[in-house]
Chain A
Amino acid sequence: MKNFFFEISILFITAVFVCLIVLPMFALFTTTSFEELIYQFRSPVILSAIVISLETSLIVVFLSLCLGIPVAYLLAMKDFRGKEIIDTLVDLPVSMPPLVAGLALLILLGGNSKFGNLLSSHGVDLIFSKKGIIIAQLFVSIPFLIKSTKDAFASINKNVINASLTLGASKFHTFKTVLLPLAKNGIYTGMIMTWSRALGEFGATSMVAGCIPFRTETMTVAIYQNAMTGEPAASIAVALLLLVFSFTLLLIFKLRIKVQAG
């Protein structure tokens, strides 16, 4: 009898969890009509938000590769003083609330700081610009690429790398022909996670870049703006599209893991 109640409770709790996730999704998908969606996606300000989001997040993925792979290499392959510090720095943006990250960036890059002044005196204005969005997204999402790539590098048999060296390859050539191909899956996984994080980023972005339609309004910002100003239909349209993106990424992610395992 006790067993029976235990099992029932587990099922009941699971059902609560499923409702928690599914009901909001259901609400989102059923409150609007197809025609309404089409109408919204024709609106220039919505289209611009979609373009800005895709543009910035893809640039972020590219930049995170350029910055993240060398850092991952260093952390995985080298032993040096202060390695723990860099390791912690990689974890920091993930555990930090995005709004706090945004505030920190705003203070650093804003007109009131020396650094911000120096930049704007050279004609570089990062605040309230697309560049600001990119920096904010990069800040919060690059750790995913670094961690995933680092783990991939670290799991490569050291002797395979040594074999390449003794066969006459330089460290750089070994990096190109052995490390990168063998870390490929880890790098792809990191890219997908970074992209999905950048696409969904709201807190840091809105702090640094504000919500200027046609200039700095990303999809997430558009959702917030429209919902707050009594335009739920526009919000819903963007939200649905964002969901489609993240579902697709999640699916690719799961499939990759399956392929790797099988």
Chain B
Amino acid sequence: MSIELKGISKSYNGRTVLKNLNLKINQGEFHVLLGPSGGGKTTTLSVMAGLVKPDRGSVFIGNKDVSNLSPDKRRIGYVFQDHALFPHLTVFENIAYGLRLRKVKKQEIKHRVDYYLERINITNEKNKFPRHLSGGQKQRVALARALVIKPDVLLMDEPMSSLDVMTKEIVQEELKSIQQKTGVTTIYVTHDHNEAGFLGDRISVLDNGKVNQIDSSFELFQNPGTEFRTSFVEVKNILDVSPVKTNSYEATVLINNDGLKYPVKIRVKKYPDVEREKEGNLKLKRGQV
């Protein structure tokens, strides 16, 4: 189903987090919501799920206004940043939780949970408790738990942030293929450009309480919008960049790395910390951009 936010505003103790936000995500789309930390991404998902009540605006799922529905009535699958598995339930029972609530027959529960256990390659761990799982396994269980109830919309809040690079790539591939297979409308929150480019059918950027740009990933990287702030880009590797404009404090560069398929214009802060490597190449460290 499609999901739409209409004129959502939210502030905490007088501090505005979301400002008249409008966002429409189509049926079956894999949508990435990109933005700096503290930019209101989690708040946006919480509003969609009904966990946070917006000050103004409404939420539509399909053609239905769900603004006044409590979270348990919204048919949403939510994968939390910290997995949020039930610590007192086994892997099997974690995944079965939503099905038991729906009074699904025992046999059917076993069938559906087993399918996902196999799908996410975790069958051997099904009687373990979450504290005995690795980060990647917890992540996959959280995904299975959200998907097994066949939600109308799947929300994922920086689900890969605690995974190492190797695991991340595997889980990303898996996620992409599961999403394509189930066709569930997905909103995926991240602050990682690489991830956004790999996963998203479309990407929107949330900054300063507004959706600044909403485009296909291709367009986003081709034409970064005017004051498109990228202070949240995490640079983990040495990037192959070519400076466009530099002064003693700032540099605007184009990234031509393999991981990113398209050049990105970023503004480098604290130019003196940026080491010149080769002609046209800058070595960037995490947090410098």
Contact = CB atoms under 8 A, between A and B. Distances in A.
Interface string B127-171: 000000000000000000110010000000000000000000000
A165 to B, nearest CB: 4
Interface in B61-100: 70-74, 76-78, 80-82, 84-88, 97-98
A165 B71 contact: yes
A162 B82 contact: no
A159 B82 contact: yes
B31 to A, nearest CB: 18
Prevailing SS type, chain A contact patch: helix
> Contact size class for A?
10 to 19
Interface in A152-196: 157, 159-160, 162-170, 173, 178, 181-182
B72 A168 contact: yes
Nearest to A174: B72
B149 A167 contact: yes
Given A159-B80, A173-B101, A166 B74 contact: yes
A162 B71 contact: yes
Contact of B86 (A164, A166, A168, A173): A164
B51 interface: yes
Contacts of B74: 166
Interface in A113-164: 157, 159-160, 162-164
Contact of B98 (A160, A168, A181): A168
A1 B70 CA distance: 72
B113 interface: no
B72 A166 contact: yes
A169 B98 CA distance: 8
Nearest to A161: B84
B135 to A, nearest CB: 16
B71 A166 contact: yes
A160 B86 CA distance: 6
Contacts of B86: 160, 163-164, 178
> Contact size class for B?
20 to 34
Contacts of B81: 159
A160 B149 contact: no
B102 A168 contact: yes
Contacts of A173: 101
B84 A160 contact: yes
Contact of B84 (A163, A170, A181, A182): A163
A182 B88 contact: yes
A157 B88 CA distance: 12
Contacts of B145: 163, 167
A157 to B, nearest CB: 6
A157 B82 contact: yes
Contacts of B46: 162
Contact of A163 (B70, B73, B78): B78
B49 interface: yes
Contacts of B84: 157, 159-160, 162-163
A169 B51 contact: no
A160 B82 CA distance: 9
A179 to B, nearest CB: 11
Contact of A169 (B49, B78, B80, B101): B101
Contacts of B97: 164, 167, 169
Contacts of B82: 157, 159
Given A157-B82, A159-B82, A165 B51 contact: yes
B49 A166 contact: yes
Residue from B49, B71, B149 having most chain A Cβ neighbours under 10 A: B71
B87 A182 contact: yes
A168 B75 CA distance: 7
Contacts of A182: 87-88
Given A159-B80, A160-B86, A160-B87, A166 B101 contact: no
Nearest to A158: B84
13 contacts: A160-B87, A162-B51, A162-B71, A163-B80, A163-B84, A165-B72, A166-B49, A167-B97, A167-B101, A167-B149, A168-B72, A178-B86, A181-B88
Given A166-B78, A178-B86, 5 more contacts: A162-B51, A165-B70, A165-B71, A168-B102, A168-B149
Interface of A: 157, 159-160, 162-170, 173, 178, 181-182
